[in-house]
Amino acid sequence: MKRIGVLTSGGDAPGMNANIRAVVRAGLAAGLEVFGIERGYSGLLAGVLRPFASHDVSGIVNRGGTILRSARCAEFHSAEGRARAAQVCALHGIEGLVTCGGDGTFTGARLLWREHGIAIAGTPGTIDNDLAGTDHTIGFDTAVATAVEACDKIRDTADSHDRIFVVEVMGRRRGDIALHTALAAGAEVVLLPECPAFDLAAGVARLRLAKEAGKTSMLVIVAEGAGQAGSVAQAIAAGLPGASVRVSVLGHMLRGGTPTANDRLLATITGAEAVRALTELGRDCCHHLGVVANQPVRTPLDAVIGATKPLEPGLLETLEVTAGLRPGQDG
Amino acid sequence: MKRIGVLTSGGDAPGMNANIRAVVRAGLAAGLEVFGIERGYSGLLAGVLRPFASHDVSGIVNRGGTILRSARCAEFHSAEGRARAAQVCALHGIEGLVTCGGDGTFTGARLLWREHGIAIAGTPGTIDNDLAGTDHTIGFDTAVATAVEACDKIRDTADSHDRIFVVEVMGRRRGDIALHTALAAGAEVVLLPECPAFDLAAGVARLRLAKEAGKTSMLVIVAEGAGQAGSVAQAIAAGLPGASVRVSVLGHMLRGGTPTANDRLLATITGAEAVRALTELGRDCCHHLGVVANQPVRTPLDAVIGATKPLEPGLLETLEVTAGLRPGQDG
Amino acid sequence: MKRIGVLTSGGDAPGMNANIRAVVRAGLAAGLEVFGIERGYSGLLAGVLRPFASHDVSGIVNRGGTILRSARCAEFHSAEGRARAAQVCALHGIEGLVTCGGDGTFTGARLLWREHGIAIAGTPGTIDNDLAGTDHTIGFDTAVATAVEACDKIRDTADSHDRIFVVEVMGRRRGDIALHTALAAGAEVVLLPECPAFDLAAGVARLRLAKEAGKTSMLVIVAEGAGQAGSVAQAIAAGLPGASVRVSVLGHMLRGGTPTANDRLLATITGAEAVRALTELGRDCCHHLGVVANQPVRTPLDAVIGATKPLEPGLLETLEVTAGLRPGQDG
Amino acid sequence: MKRIGVLTSGGDAPGMNANIRAVVRAGLAAGLEVFGIERGYSGLLAGVLRPFASHDVSGIVNRGGTILRSARCAEFHSAEGRARAAQVCALHGIEGLVTCGGDGTFTGARLLWREHGIAIAGTPGTIDNDLAGTDHTIGFDTAVATAVEACDKIRDTADSHDRIFVVEVMGRRRGDIALHTALAAGAEVVLLPECPAFDLAAGVARLRLAKEAGKTSMLVIVAEGAGQAGSVAQAIAAGLPGASVRVSVLGHMLRGGTPTANDRLLATITGAEAVRALTELGRDCCHHLGVVANQPVRTPLDAVIGATKPLEPGLLETLEVTAGLRPGQDG
């Protein structure tokens, strides 16, 4: 392999720049040429790419966003689109791609490999933490850090005014951001898409318990896939007459900001490993690069795409216990 | 004067704890007893107060919120309510009050002084920055810092996806938070309650200009008193076909968090000055303590209540110029 | 088991408070009484302890330091000292201890278990990340985050003035903080106590290479066990005539500050697991609680004390590659 | 005036980039061409400059450091050097300069104006806060914020281990950073170059008082011009037998980092005003642009250079009072 490309695709995630930097530099160190491709697959289709030198990725290890930008690309979902992408690769002599993104990104990449033999190394670039083959995904740590920092601020004003706050965080099908945020922020209740059983009625009952135990302020964290903050707040207000309930929707700010040290490290390791996988496996490379228990791990994309990673066991139980919401606890 | 009370009232603001600490310690240093009164005027009416020692305010200079909590108190709006408050003061020998809050807090305090001779020293505790007699209010700097940090994050994802973001910040009647945030975050447009002329249509025109000049991401800051983020976003989407517009409502997180060094300093200076004003003026004290051009300033509450502080001159012009939205600029 | 104690010992680490909170609340939820013991073993020997209620640990999940304080205790190194500690435990009916600390803390705790049958659950409270049986230790993530944030700032001024900075971080026998910091901050060189081969002369050669490749500013991270920043700077200045070299020693600030979400989570999980281990194993409990690959892990203290955890494989290689210091790379 | 230049000189300060951005964009909006000059006067002498477009300063409002870099330039101290600088200006048609820096920068600039008629607009770019004609200088707010954040962390570990910390901050001839930091961090003692009377012996006496009042941890802030942290710590240890004293030297990290909202605002306002001053005053412009009481202020450089701004009155007294170190206070 002599020339590879790198792109970021899907929702952006803090740490993508550190990933790009690692891919470019590890590629150059391995004697490859590395092309940066703009705006994901749509840039690939449009041929918007250029060779990157080492200094082109200077000073970006700590930058949020992605200098390559990202975009959705409907055309790449079709066989014709992918054929055109393969033509662009052939035109520029690109034999392998590092694709930083999530499940959707990998699904497209695998097709490009199957249909056209472009080698693929996928790095886990998504704040959702929903990929198998890695303890965490790039951007997840920063997203949780941002959410927790916001919750710390919100707890201050909740305390001052004896209020209940419902804080909505990103996560349509996946509750990891909500669950980690709730545990780290010391929230009383969390609502997750994966856990209909741990539902709103149970949550209200918990808040009532907390109030009886003497708590005057409370935090409820809601993953967007488990309900809207506004309607959750209404249900709480209905269930706890007299309570002052307010809402905060954190939204897209979770996607930006200086990446945490963890995200930079994960992005750097997986970026360097992606290059190694491409050079070692060549055309057989259609793999995902992750880190498990501090060790780099290479997994076939087949084993990652569509695989569901279960919620970490026991965390909901731990939340309930440490929030002081068990009988006999006084808040 | 031998005994004073301190309370925080109205919306909470970061720095209130540093203010309480300064009042307690400056009071003790002046040979006074200082009572902490919980939950503003409602705690005063209910007699929820206790003497504070110096160590009771240890370790709070950098804490968000207010250890005395805050609350609205409808009863204090009536003459009967204030009479009861005066009785509580008399019962406990409290001759003067330091009231940390905004215009509403001061209005009530002035009546207590007029009707019952309780000396009043008001410290400017509100994130809104809407008080005369001081360059800034306690909490404003932290609120702007929080908003700007959020906007920096949002700009990252806006850049990655070529998007326009509408960010709504607190400020019903006052645009200072929005205006300072917009300037510091490098926003393209700001919508303020004070400036109907700088309106939405003009804002959309500016965004169009910015787009033509080559800008691919843009930030619009809206004070809540100037419009809802959602409807502003709809108007922008209608006026800029093809634009990807998203919304973020920052809300209550602006009220919490570790206060900035500035807010701690302002709170510390005005807290110490409040005690000085009470001891020097005695029963004649019905004053506000601020800082103007780095100097402590004492102003009669009469000259502060209801006074409107104009927006800083030229800032809107500076925003437009530095955002690169004048003809001839290329974005 | 009906009553347990919790203490923090050795150098303090951010997240210890979250650990205490989890132990107290999980203990109460399990029907135990939980005593907080002040200043580690010295407080235990002196009998400075008291029962904790759930609300005693309210609002500390995000506080740096440890509300129980920490201290070194020479007396506990003697059999007499430990006998006295056991007497205090007997006097108060304490059958098990949760000890949050590092290798030294665990060594003493194991003797207390062996000699006097006090059950022990050790939680990994140290910024050094030098304990087996867990991917990370409590406080490590925050220490690295603080170091990286400082390095980001230092890089700004290094860039402005074309300077080389030598940044010294904590770590006498262990280079994890230095190595993670170097990777996340994009440093050019790191000096570690574990790697005499990756030595100063090689580091200077690397800096020379970087300079020739066009880099105008550089960062060198030094673990305190691998050299003093000042002497490293002198060596660099001698080896790179004309270079402007400056020094920054980060020191104790790495031990404080709001713990990161990760550290709070790790502290919360291991605290809850410590209580579970004590209740499940009773007098047989002499275990360490860690988290490996997102799963709680219980390990006999025998397998943790004195065990050396190797540096993560490949990270030094990754640093060199991603810093752009391989031949053929242009900086 | 048709063409101006902008440069940053002396020690770098956070906010310089926001200043450059404002100058470039305000200049373009005023119909001027704006040249960016690299590395201060040395770049001017060497003719390292180029025209800036609006997008050249995109995305830098929140970046630490200075994209124009900074440098000391001995040659500019000579008449020959300045003559050469004037030739470069003439060669490129540059009639006016915006110089962002401190007293030394302004001194050189004024000579260039006097000797060669180059119009000068000086913006206050220094973390030292030692310039007349402005409430604060660009970078000061960020430097204090960084120092206070570090002190908050240090206080955590000081509390955990019952320690005294001596924290040294930048400020050779000026104590503003130390004084503001001490007040905002709730330090017990501050040592300033301006106040030999408030000396080390008095400081030790204060610490003794604090200890007797029950304080178990203490912070001492030292401006580098008032003593070295190490020797201060030794003196304290000698004066307080048994005390555990540690040292932290914050150093250059105070110069970097994302500028605070305040610094960005100040930099933006003064940058825009600098262009206005040049266009309005033309060749007569040899002025400094500051902000006093929220209002832009234009002052002749003659009235700024060499002028000493006194320490804010009463702050030392306020520190002593609010630290709880007066007789009768209990810590």
Q: What is the pLDDT of residues D90-134, one digit of tens each?
A: 999 999 999 999 999 999 999 999 999 999 999 999 999 999 999
Chain segment B90-144, per-residue pLDDT in tens:
999 999 999 999 999 999 999 999 999 999 999 999 999 999 999 999 999 999 9
Chain segment D148-158, per-residue pLDDT in tens:
999 999 999 99
**Mean of the pLDDT values across residues B164-172?**
97
Rg (CA), chain A: 22
Q: Does B46 touch chain A (CB under 8 A)?
A: no
Q: Which residues of D touch C139 (CB under 8 A)?
A: none
* Burial of D259: CB neighbours in 10 Å, binned 0-12, 13-18, 19+: buried
Chain segment C2-32, per-residue pLDDT in tens:
999 999 999 999 999 999 999 999 999 999 9
**Mean of the pLDDT values across residues C261-288?**
98
Nearest chain B Cα distance for residue D50, angstroms: 17
**Residue B196, amino acid:** P
Complex ipTM above 0.85?
Answer: yes
Q: Which residues of A touch B153 (CB under 8 A)?
A: 64, 146, 253-257
> What pLDDT sits at residue D326?
66
Which residues, numbered 1 to 30 in chain D, qualify as contacts with chain B under a Cβ-Cβ cut-off of 8 Å?
A: 21-22, 25-26, 28-29
* Burial of C239: CB neighbours in 10 Å, binned 0-12, 13-18, 19+: middle
Q: Regarding the domain with residue range B141-256, which homologous superfamily does it belong to in the CATH classification?
A: Phosphofructokinase domain (3.40.50.460)
Classify domain C3-139+259-303 at the CATH topology level. Rossmann fold (3.40.50)
- Which of B12, B150, B165 lies nearest to residue A160, judging by beta carbons? B12
> What pLDDT sits at residue B330?
46
Q: Could you tell me which residues are beta bridge partners of residue B221?
A: B167, B190
Classify domain D3-139+259-304 at the CATH topology level. Rossmann fold (3.40.50)
Q: How confident is the model at residue C275 (pLDDT cuts 50, 70, 90)?
A: very high
% of chain D with per-residue pLDDT over 90: 91
Active-site residues of D, by number, are: 128
Q: Does D308 touch chain B (CB under 8 A)?
A: no
Element (H, E) at D51: strand D49-51
**Mean of the pLDDT values across residues D137-143?**
98
Element (H, E) at C43: helix C40-46
Q: Which residues of A touch B8 (CB under 8 A)?
A: 160
Torsion angle (degrees, nearest 10) of CA B317, B321, B322, B326: 150
- pLDDT score of B331 more than 50: no
Q: Rounded CA gap, A223 and C93, in Å?
A: 44
**Residue A239, amino acid:** G
Chain segment B9-34, per-residue pLDDT in tens:
999 999 999 999 999 999 999 999 99
CB contact under 8 A, C262 and A265: no
Q: What is the DSSP letter of C284?
A: G
Domain C143-256 belongs in CATH node 3.40.50.460: yes
Mean pLDDT taken over chain B: 95
Q: Which of C12, C128, C141, C176 is catalytic?
A: C128
- pLDDT score of A331 more than 50: no
Contacting subunits of B (3+ beta carbon pairs below 8 A): A, D
Phi, psi of D124 (to 5 degrees): -80, 85
- Which of D145, D258, D324 lies nearest to residue B54, judging by beta carbons? D324
- pLDDT score of D270 more than 60: yes
Q: Are A146 and A140 in contact (CB under 8 A)?
A: no
Nearest chain D Cα distance for residue B46, angstroms: 29
CB contact under 8 A, C165 and D257: no
Beta-carbon contacts of B118 under 8 Å, excluding residues fewer than 6 positions away, are B85, B86, B89, B94, B95, B96, B97, B112
- Residue with the bigger pLDDT between A63 and D199: it is A63
Pick from D25, B251, C200: nearest CA to A166:
B251
Q: DSSP strand E in A264-315: where?
A: 286-292, 295-300
Give the pair of three-digit tokens for residue B215: 């800008």
Mean pLDDT taken over chain D: 95
**Mean of the pLDDT values across residues C100-123?**
98
Beta-carbon contacts of B299 under 8 Å, excluding residues fewer than 6 positions away, are B132, B133, B287, B288, B290
CB contact under 8 A, C71 and D153: no
Q: Are A245 and A166 in contact (CB under 8 A)?
A: yes
Coil vs helix vs strand at C297:
strand
CB contact under 8 A, C248 and D253: yes
Q: Rounded CA gap, B323 and B325, in Å?
A: 6
> What pLDDT sits at residue C213?
84
Beta-carbon contacts of C225 under 8 Å, excluding residues fewer than 6 positions away, are C171, C172, C173, C174, C175, C193
Domains B3-139+259-303 and B141-256 share a fold: yes
- pLDDT score of D200 more than 90: no
Q: How confident is the model at residue A197 (pLDDT cuts 50, 70, 90)?
A: low
Beta-carbon contacts of C312 under 8 Å, excluding residues fewer than 6 positions away, are A294, A295, C179
Find the closest chain A residue to B254 by CA distance: A153
- pLDDT score of B295 more than 50: yes
Parse chain A into domains and list their residue ranges. 3-139+259-303, 141-256
> What pLDDT sits at residue D97?
98
Q: Are C60 and C67 in contact (CB under 8 A)?
A: yes
**Mean of the pLDDT values across residues C278-294?**
98
Which of the residues A16, A66, A153 would you substitute to probe the B interface, choosing the one with the greatest number of B C-beta atoms within 10 Å? A153
Pick from B143, A63, C155, B246: nearest CA to D59:
A63
Q: How confident is the model at residue D330 (pLDDT cuts 50, 70, 90)?
A: very low
Phi, psi of B111 (to 5 degrees): -65, -40
Domain made up of D143-255: CATH architecture: 3-Layer(aba) Sandwich (3.40)
Chain segment A212-267, per-residue pLDDT in tens:
888 999 999 999 999 999 999 999 999 999 999 999 999 999 999 999 999 999 99
CB contact under 8 A, D159 and B268: no
Q: DSSP strand E in chain A: where?
A: 3-8, 33-37, 49-51, 96-101, 119-124, 163-169, 189-191, 218-223, 244-249, 286-292, 295-300
CB contact under 8 A, C318 and A272: yes
